[in-house]
Protein backbone atom coordinates (compact mmCIF):
# COMPACT_ATOMS: atom_id res chain seq x y z
CA UNK A 1 0.00 0.00 0.00
CA UNK A 2 1.26 3.47 -0.86
CA UNK A 3 2.14 6.18 1.65
CA UNK A 4 -0.80 7.52 3.63
CA UNK A 5 -1.97 11.14 3.44
CA UNK A 6 -1.96 12.80 6.87
CA UNK A 7 -4.88 14.88 8.10
CA UNK A 8 -5.17 16.79 11.34
CA UNK A 9 -8.66 17.09 12.89
CA UNK A 10 -9.45 20.79 13.49
CA UNK A 11 -12.44 22.39 15.24
CA UNK A 12 -14.10 22.92 11.83
CA UNK A 13 -14.26 19.12 11.36
CA UNK A 14 -16.02 18.32 14.62
CA UNK A 15 -19.60 18.71 15.79
CA UNK A 16 -21.41 19.14 19.12
CA UNK A 17 -21.05 15.39 19.68
CA UNK A 18 -17.31 16.10 20.20
CA UNK A 19 -16.22 13.98 17.23
CA UNK A 20 -15.77 14.43 13.47
CA UNK A 21 -19.10 15.20 11.75
CA UNK A 22 -19.94 12.25 9.50
CA UNK A 23 -20.00 14.20 6.21
CA UNK A 24 -16.48 15.47 6.82
CA UNK A 25 -14.90 12.05 6.28
CA UNK A 26 -15.90 12.52 2.63
CA UNK A 27 -13.83 15.72 2.59
CA UNK A 28 -10.87 13.75 3.95
CA UNK A 29 -11.29 11.08 1.27
CA UNK A 30 -11.52 13.70 -1.45
CA UNK A 31 -8.33 15.43 -0.28
CA UNK A 32 -6.54 12.07 -0.26
CA UNK A 33 -7.71 11.24 -3.80
CA UNK A 34 -6.51 14.66 -4.98
CA UNK A 35 -3.07 13.95 -3.46
CA UNK A 36 -3.12 10.44 -4.96
CA UNK A 37 -3.61 11.91 -8.45
CA UNK A 38 -1.01 14.62 -7.75
CA UNK A 39 1.52 11.91 -6.75
CA UNK A 40 0.86 10.26 -10.12
CA UNK A 41 1.63 13.59 -11.78
CA UNK A 42 -1.90 14.86 -12.44
CA UNK A 43 -3.12 18.24 -11.20
CA UNK A 44 -6.89 18.56 -11.25
CA UNK A 45 -6.83 22.23 -12.23
CA UNK A 46 -4.88 21.19 -15.34
CA UNK A 47 -7.41 18.43 -15.98
CA UNK A 48 -10.29 20.93 -15.63
CA UNK A 49 -8.61 23.07 -18.31
CA UNK A 50 -8.65 19.97 -20.53
CA UNK A 51 -12.39 19.71 -19.71
CA UNK A 52 -11.83 16.54 -17.63
CA UNK A 53 -13.14 15.98 -14.11
CA UNK A 54 -13.58 12.85 -12.02
CA UNK A 55 -16.94 12.76 -10.21
CA UNK A 56 -18.23 10.36 -7.57
CA UNK A 57 -20.99 8.05 -8.85
CA UNK A 58 -21.54 6.24 -5.56
CA UNK A 59 -19.88 5.78 -2.23
CA UNK A 60 -20.21 3.32 0.62
CA UNK A 61 -18.79 4.46 3.94
CA UNK A 62 -18.39 2.46 7.16
CA UNK A 63 -18.06 4.60 10.29
CA UNK A 64 -16.15 2.25 12.59
CA UNK A 65 -14.76 4.55 15.29
CA UNK A 66 -15.22 8.28 15.79
CA UNK A 67 -12.23 10.55 15.13
CA UNK A 68 -11.78 13.20 17.80
CA UNK A 69 -10.65 16.82 17.82
CA UNK A 70 -6.88 17.28 17.37
CA UNK A 71 -6.19 13.69 16.33
CA UNK A 72 -3.86 12.99 13.42
CA UNK A 73 -5.35 10.68 10.79
CA UNK A 74 -3.71 8.59 8.06
CA UNK A 75 -5.72 8.14 4.87
CA UNK A 76 -4.77 5.23 2.58
CA UNK A 77 -6.02 5.25 -1.01
CA UNK A 78 -5.69 2.43 -3.49
CA UNK A 79 -7.26 1.45 -6.78
CA UNK A 80 -9.67 -1.47 -6.67
CA UNK A 81 -10.56 -1.58 -10.37
CA UNK A 82 -10.28 0.48 -13.55
CA UNK A 83 -12.65 0.54 -16.51
CA UNK A 84 -12.74 2.60 -19.69
CA UNK A 85 -14.50 5.61 -18.17
CA UNK A 86 -14.62 4.85 -14.46
CA UNK A 87 -12.59 3.52 -11.56
CA UNK A 88 -13.13 2.30 -8.02
CA UNK A 89 -11.06 3.42 -5.04
CA UNK A 90 -10.79 1.67 -1.68
CA UNK A 91 -9.92 4.19 1.04
CA UNK A 92 -9.19 3.68 4.72
CA UNK A 93 -8.57 6.05 7.62
CA UNK A 94 -6.35 5.01 10.52
CA UNK A 95 -5.58 6.72 13.79
CA UNK A 96 -2.85 6.05 16.37
CA UNK A 97 -4.39 5.24 19.75
CA UNK A 98 -2.54 3.84 22.75
CA UNK A 99 0.39 2.95 20.54
CA UNK A 100 -1.76 1.07 18.05
CA UNK A 101 -2.88 1.90 14.55
CA UNK A 102 -6.69 1.64 14.56
CA UNK A 103 -8.94 1.50 11.50
CA UNK A 104 -11.63 4.10 12.14
CA UNK A 105 -13.33 4.57 8.78
CA UNK A 106 -13.38 2.96 5.34
CA UNK A 107 -14.98 3.69 2.00
CA UNK A 108 -15.45 2.27 -1.47
CA UNK A 109 -15.80 5.05 -4.02
CA UNK A 110 -16.83 4.64 -7.63
CA UNK A 111 -15.76 7.55 -9.79
CA UNK A 112 -16.60 8.41 -13.38
CA UNK A 113 -14.48 10.42 -15.77
CA UNK A 114 -16.71 13.13 -17.28
CA UNK A 115 -16.43 16.16 -19.53
CA UNK A 116 -16.37 19.07 -17.11
CA UNK A 117 -18.68 21.35 -19.12
CA UNK A 118 -21.55 18.90 -19.71
CA UNK A 119 -20.84 16.33 -16.95
CA UNK A 120 -21.18 13.49 -19.49
CA UNK A 121 -19.02 10.31 -19.32
CA UNK A 122 -15.86 10.27 -21.36
CA UNK A 123 -12.99 7.74 -21.50
CA UNK A 124 -10.19 8.28 -19.00
CA UNK A 125 -7.42 9.98 -21.03
CA UNK A 126 -4.87 7.33 -22.08
CA UNK A 127 -1.84 8.66 -20.13
CA UNK A 128 -3.89 8.79 -16.92
CA UNK A 129 -5.32 5.31 -17.51
CA UNK A 130 -1.78 3.96 -17.95
CA UNK A 131 -0.57 5.71 -14.77
CA UNK A 132 -3.51 4.31 -12.81
CA UNK A 133 -2.88 0.77 -14.08
CA UNK A 134 0.82 1.02 -13.23
CA UNK A 135 -0.04 2.26 -9.75
CA UNK A 136 -2.53 -0.58 -9.28
CA UNK A 137 0.18 -3.04 -10.36
CA UNK A 138 2.69 -1.55 -7.90
CA UNK A 139 0.12 -1.88 -5.09
CA UNK A 140 -0.54 -5.52 -5.97
CA UNK A 141 3.19 -6.25 -6.10
CA UNK A 142 3.94 -4.69 -2.74
Q: Measured at the alpha carbon of residue 130, what is the angle toward residues 86 and 118, in degrees to the nearest 5?
A: 40
- Residues 6, 70, 96, 133: which binds a copy of itself (CB under 8 A)? 70
Does position 19 bind a copy of itself by CB under 8 A? yes
Applying CB under 8 A, which part among 62-70, 81-89, 123-131, 133-141 lies near a copy of itself? 62-70
The dihedral formed by the CA atoms of 7, 10, 12 and 18, expressed in degrees to the nearest 10: 110
Is residue 46 among the annotated active site residues? no
Which residues, numbered 100-129, are part of the site for a copy of itself (CB under 8 A)?
A: 116, 119
Q: How far apart are CA 107 and CA 109, in angstroms?
A: 6
Applying CB under 8 A, which part among 60-68, 77-85, 95-103, 126-134 lies near a copy of itself? 60-68
- Residues 18, 98, 99, 100: which binds a copy of itself (CB under 8 A)? 18
Catalytic residues, by residue number, are 15
Amino acid sequence: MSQPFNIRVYFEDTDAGGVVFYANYLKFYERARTEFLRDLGYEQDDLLQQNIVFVVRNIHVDFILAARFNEQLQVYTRIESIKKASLVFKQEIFCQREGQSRLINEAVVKMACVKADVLKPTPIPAPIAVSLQQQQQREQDS
